[in-house]
Amino acid sequence: MNYRFKQDVNIPVDNITLEGELIIPAESNAIVVFSHGSGSSRFSPRNKMVAEYLHRQNIGTLLFDLLTASEDRIYQNRFNIELLTQRLVVSTKWLLNYLPAKDCCIGYFGASTGAASALKAASRIPAIHAIVCRGGRPDLAMNELHQIKAPVLLIVGSKDLDVLALNEKAYWEINAPKKITVIEGATHLFEEPGAMEQVCVAAGNWFDHYLQTIISN
Identify the H or E element spanning 199: helix 195-207
Beta-sheet strands, E only, within 67-160: 105-111, 128-134, 152-157
* Half-sphere exposure for 43 (CA within 13 Å, toward CB): 2
What is the per-residue pLDDT across 90-133, written as a single tens digit (0 to 9) for each? 999 999 999 999 889 999 999 998 999 999 999 999 999 999 99
* Half-sphere exposure for 77 (CA within 13 Å, toward CB): 14
- Identify residue 142 by its one-letter amino acid code: M
What is the pLDDT averaged over residues 76-92? 89
Q: What angle do CA 184, 58, 158 make, to 5 degrees?
A: 10
Q: Considering its fold, how many domains does the chain have in total? A: 1
Q: Domain holding 29: CATH number?
A: 3.40.50.1820
CA distances from 212 to 34, 69, 166, 167 (A): 18, 35, 30, 26
What is the per-residue pLDDT across 37-48, written as a single tens digit (0 to 9) for each? 766 667 788 999
Domain that holds residue 94: 3-216
Flag whether pLDDT at 215 surpasses 60: no
Rounded CA-CA distance 174/138 in Å is 10
pLDDT value, residue 42: 79
What is the per-residue pLDDT across 169-212, written as a single tens digit (0 to 9) for each? 999 999 999 999 999 999 999 999 999 999 999 999 999 999 97
pLDDT value, residue 122: 97
pLDDT value, residue 41: 66
Average pLDDT, the chain: 92
